[in-house]
Structures are given as structure tokens and as C-alpha cells.
Amino acid sequence: MLTKREELFGGTPDEYLSHKEKYENSTRKAVILFSLLRKIQEENNTDLTNYRNLLSGVLGASISQDGSPFGLHYIMFMPVFMSQADEEQQERWLHRALNCSIIGSYAQTELGHGTFIRGLETTATYDPSTQEFVLHSPTLTSYKWWPGGLGNTANYCIVIAQLYSKGECHGIHSFIVQVRDEDTHMPLPGIKVGEIGVKMGLNAVNNGFIGFENVRIPRTNMLMKHAKILEDGTYVKSKNSKLIYGAMVFVRVVIVFDSVNYLAKAITVATRYSAVRRQSQLKEGEPERQILDYVTQQDKILTAIAGCFAMKMNARMLWDTFNVINDQLHKGNMERLGELHALACCLKAISTSDSSLFTARCRVSCGGHGYMVSSTLPATSALTTASCTYEGDNTVLLLQTARFLLKTWRQIDTGPLTPTVEYLKTVSAPGFSYKWENSIEGIIRGFQIVSMKKISSCLNLMTAKVMSGMSQADAWNTISIQLVSAGESHCRAIVISTFHEDMSKAMRSMSASLAEVMGQLVELYAVYWTLERLGDLLEYTSISGADVVKLRSWYEELLRKIRPNAVGLVDAFDIIDELLQSTLGAYDGRVYERLMEEALKSPLNAEPVNQSFHKYLKPFMQGKL
């Protein structure tokens, strides 16, 4: 009798399973895992706060590197329900979703549209004679494409469609749609549903497609917490048309936490391996050195560790900010919705792009063995690059942040600013003076000035182009590279200052030795990004060549100081071997034995001579083919 652990982590490695077997195996594992999680949620009164903890349990325990066919049920189907269904609808559906007696997906993206959601083509036309909506996919490009779990798993999904009533289009709205029979799991009439095929990664997520041929759903299947359709077809507007986008904000907040989890796995593997791997001599005649002793290796890995800690603290800040503003939204106060959206956009973009960048660095820092699937680094790299796209392409999200920043800058003199942008007032105030200094505070101030000057420059450029006769839209597109850069600079200023401020608070309750190491991580992160963004700082601040020389020495000194604690820092993530799933990162450091153990699991090693020798090679080598 297998233990739960053996059931979850034993058997043929996923990499040797077919696409179909991989899905079936991941569904088997998901059922075991989510039965356990279901017990947890039955003990809690699940609200958004508890829900995120439950969700982080789901994500953290999504044991397969390839995600889970239940992922979207937890990541989007339920959060969207909690934020967009009215009380009667929550009463009718939410408990069934929470105990997984129904499995849902989230169908927004179409073959033809992912970013521009106002351009989605799926229609939901209200028929007052039957009090139903008619869901229809008018074109191939209107087919929903990507929804996780939709291929073969989900029997319900939330569909985002253009709402028509009384001949008028009211824009995109959310609808709950049953897609498969709850007993037979057969697709319901008028529904064409399937799986989209093999992807770069996340091949257990079971992303699917769905098309509707005049499928009728009751009026009460429109999620009506915000906007409504009355029985006679009268449309009742939402207090704010952007509230329908609320779930995307929540998921972007979750993704920031998740980008930290992925990066933590990658740096745990790369750091431990770099402590085990010995390669080359630093001095002739000496034993080969741990590759972690090479400063170039420290440059790749220790900065990633600092980045992980920085983003973890920023994820917490974002979650706290989300909760504060979400409470205000529930009370009808929309004042900070734009700020929350802008913050979620830039932090999702920067956390995922940093995670993708540093994870790729961890992969190459482990040489050939880092290219083995059994190291888990290729799959983690595929995961992090996907996060730069899903829940909003990073470029598009940084443009959203830039849009908010320009709007803020236009109003800079009309009154107080909201917390995440009030630095703009400080560094642009008359009489404000600043001379670059090589300190954390000096670096933070420098990034804030860069951000302010980029935003100001973008607005001036836009104004000049429009004055010269260019349309607003063309002017925006022409300077969009600078707009993205302004969004990134704003975010980097927030990340560094949040890391410094929150870590400083945390250090007050730490031992002196731990506080010293944490302080070194904050400095490493700040100095690293200063050196990475030297061009901006030289353009907009008084930093000098002499300052840069001292910064480089400071950076190298920090690498030297942090090196002895590198393994301890990643051990602190406490990722168990079963979740790490890495021949290079296992706690016991038996790298070479594990590489060989995994290799011998290859089906190609089951017999000494593969059948292709007799069928192909031998005749070929004997000139018979």
C-alpha cells in the first residue's frame, strides 16, 4: 500500500510520460492533493484573506512543475465569483466551488484577443421573452483560447462576453456557464470544447478552447454584483465599469507572491549546487574550488537571492495595499482604484520579469546539469517566462502604470497625492535639492528622481507632439518605449524603498548577526540595480564617475560578505525536496548520485539494445537502406 507521499511523488517521472499520460497523472495527483486542501478550507470561513492563504497553499503545493488542472479553479474561478457574483449567486454556486463538487475555469482570452479585452468577440445577447442570454462565438477568432483546466477538467467556466440587450452593446461582462454534464462530463449542446495542445511548459494546466453555438443560459447566470440586466432587458450600470477587471488585480497580486516562490526554488537549486560543484583551480596546485567562490558566480546568484527577499517584502506591501483599497471599494470609495491598478500592474510586470531573468541566470549558472529536466531549472524557467504573459502582458501592464503616472503628474499641483506616488511631489518641490551620495537613502532618492524626470519628460514629449499636430494616440505610441521605462523606474523606486523600509523594521527584532546579513541583502539589491541603471542615473542625477568606482567596490565587498551565508539564506526558504524536485538542489547534496539515479529511470535504459538498432541502424550501417 503506497503512502500519500509515494502516491504523490512516486511513479514514472513526468518527463517520460506522453502528453495525455501527463495530464491523467496530474489529475490523479491533483485529486489527492485537493482532497487534503478541501479539509483545510472546510475548517476555515473562506474569505479573500483566508482565501489567499489557501491559494498560496494550492500554488505552493502545485507539486508538478507543470502546474495543475485545478489551478484556475482556485486562481481565478473562485476569486472572480467572490468579487463579481451577487449574494444570491454566491449562495447558489460558491459552496459547490469551494468543496470542488464543481470545477471551474476562467474564459476571457480568445484566439484573436488577449490584451485588448474591449475587443473580445464572444457575445451574450439577452432574450427577454425567455429571460435568457444567448452565448455565441461568431468567428473562429472569437473562440476562447487558453483557459486553464478547460480542456478536459472543468465542467463550468466564467465567460467574458460582450453583453447585448435591446439592440445595444454594453461592453464586456462575466457569465457563469456550465460546459459539461455534471454526471457524464460530456460537452453540453452547442459547445465545442477541447485542449489547445503542448506548450513550452505548464503542460498539466490543461489549457483549453471553447466555442458557443447559440448556447442559452438563464439571465441569473450573469454575475450581477456590479452591473445588472433586469428581467425586461433593462441594463443597470456598475458604479465603475472597471470593477469587472477587479479579479485581474487580485490575481496580479497573487502572481507577485508566486514569482517569489518560483525564484526561491531556482536559487535554492543554483546555490546548493554551486556549493557542491567544484570546478577549476583558482591557484595552480590548489584543490578545485566550489564554483560559488567565483565572484562571477556570486554576481549571478547572490543578486537573485537579494531580489527574492526584496520581492517577497513588496508582495506583502502590495497585498496590504490591496486589502486597504479593496475595503474602500466595497464601501463605494473608488478614489484609489486607479492607484491600485497601476501598482498591481507594475509590480506584476517587474516581479515576473525579474523572476524570469534571475531564473534563467540560475539555469546557466549550473552549466550542463542545469540543462537537465531533472534539475527542475528548465521547467522553472518555462514557468517564469509564462508569468510575463498571463494575467496581462508585462509591456501592456507597464503602459497602464505609465498612464496612471502621467495622469498623476498632470494633477501634481492640485492637491495631496496617494501614498505610492507622493514621492513625486517631494522630489519636484520648489527648493528641493539633491546631491548623489553612495548610500541606501541616496540610491532611493536617485531612483525617485529618475522616475519623476522620466514621467515629466514623457508628458512634455506628448504635449509637444500633440501641439505639432500629432494625434494623442500616435504621440502615445511614438514615445511608448519611454513610457514603459518610466513605469519600470517608478516600480524600481518603490521596490527598493519598500525593501529598505520594511527590512529595517524587521531587523529591529532580529539578532545582530541576522540583521547584519539582511542589511547586506538590502544594500546588494540597491547597489546592483544602481549599476544596472547607471545610464538613467547619469542622465538625471549628479552621480559621478568617482561615485561609480566606489559603487563597484561596494558591490564586490557585499558579494564577499554574503558568500558565507548563501546556503543558509536559501535553506531558510525551507523548500522540501519533494517540492523542489531537483537532482541538483536536494538537501543532502548527493548531486551526482541523483543525476545517475534519474538517468536510469529513462525508458531508454530499460534494455541494453533498443529496437531501432535492428530496425534502422544495422541495415543502414550495412548499406542495406
Ligand X SMILES: CC/C=C\C/C=C\C/C=C\C/C=C\CC/C=C/C(=O)SCCNC(=O)CCNC(=O)[C@H](O)C(C)(C)COP(=O)(O)OP(=O)(O)OC[C@H]1O[C@@H](n2cnc3c(N)ncnc32)[C@H](O)[C@@H]1OP(=O)(O)O
Distance between CA atoms of residues 252 and 85, nearest Å:
20
- Contact 212/191 with Cβ under 8 angstroms? yes
Using CB under 6 A as the criterion, what x/- string covers residues 394-423 for binding ligand X? --x---x--xx--x----------------
Element housing 407 (H / E): helix 394-410
CA 400-250-48 angle, 5° bins: 160
Mask of contacts with ligand X, 578-617, x by CB under 6 A?
----------------------------------------
Does residue number 115 form part of the binding site for ligand FAD (CB under 6 A)? yes
Q: Which three cell numbers stand for residue 393?
A: 502582458
Q: Is 109 known to sit in a ligand binding site?
A: yes
Site for ligand X in 41-80 (CB under 6 A): 59, 62, 67, 71-72, 75-76
> Of ligand X, ligand FAD, none, which one sits near residue 395, judging by CB under 5 to 8 A according to partner kind?
ligand FAD
Q: Could you tell me which stretch among 101-109, 180-188, 231-239, 423-431 binds ligand FAD (CB under 6 A)?
A: 101-109
CB of 171 to ligand X, least distance (A): 9
**Site for ligand FAD, residues 178 to 237, rule: CB under 6 A:** 202, 207
Shortest CB 390 distance to ligand FAD, Å: 4
Q: Across the strands, what pairs with 322? A: none
Does 70 help bind ligand FAD (rule: CB under 6 A)?
A: no
In the block, residue with C-alpha cell 522620466: 454
As a whole number of Å, the end-to-end CA separation of the chain is 50
With CB under 6 A as the contact rule, the residue among 395, 482, 504, 542 that binds ligand FAD is 395
Restricting to residues 127-156, name those near ligand FAD by CB under 6 A.
146-148
> CA–CA separation, 334 vs 210, rounded Å?
34
Backbone φ and ψ of 478, nearest 5°: -60, -40
Q: Which burial class, exposed, middle or buried, applies to 432 when counting CB atoms under 10 A from its CB (0-12, 13-18, 19+)?
A: exposed
Identify the residue whose cell numbers are 517564469. Answer: 384
Q: Name the minimum Å distance from CB 524 to ligand X.
A: 27
Measure CA 506 to chain center. 26
**Interatomic CA distance for residues 514 and 309, integer angstroms:** 14
Number of C-beta neighbours around residue 298 at 10 A: 23
Interactions with ligand X, residue window 422-481 (CB under 6 A): none
Q: Which one of 2-10, 286-294, 390-398, 597-605 is the stretch in contact with ligand X (CB under 6 A)? A: 390-398
Residue 338 contact, options ligand FAD, ligand X, none, Cβ 5-8 Å cut-off depending on partner type: ligand X
C-alpha distances out from residue 89 to 81, 84, 217, 219, Å: 8, 9, 14, 11
How far apart (Å, rounded) are the C-alpha atoms in residues 408 and 401? 10
Q: Find the helix packing angle between 246-276 and 295-330, rounded to 10°.
A: 160
Residue closer to ligand FAD (CB basis): 81 or 525: 81
- For the chain, state the CA radius of gyration: 27
- Told to check if 276 binds ligand X by CB under 6 A, we report no
Among the listed residues 202, 217, 494, 521, the single contact to ligand X using CB under 6 A? 202
Question: Is 391 a catalytic site residue?
Answer: yes
Candidates 110, 121, 132, 391; catalytic one: 391
Supply the minimum distance, in Å, between the C-beta of residue 289 and ligand X.
37
3-state helix, strand, coil in the chain (%, to 5): 60, 10, 30
Binding site for ligand X (CB under 6 A): 59, 62, 67, 71-72, 75-76, 106, 108-109, 115-118, 148, 202, 205, 242, 245, 248-249, 251, 254-255, 258, 337-338, 341, 390-392, 396, 400, 403-404, 407
| Feature table: binding site for FAD | 109, 148
Give catalytic residues, as residue numbers: 391
Binding site for ligand FAD (CB under 6 A): 72, 106-109, 114-115, 146-148, 202, 207, 386, 389-390, 392-393, 395-396, 399
| Feature table: binding site | 109, 148
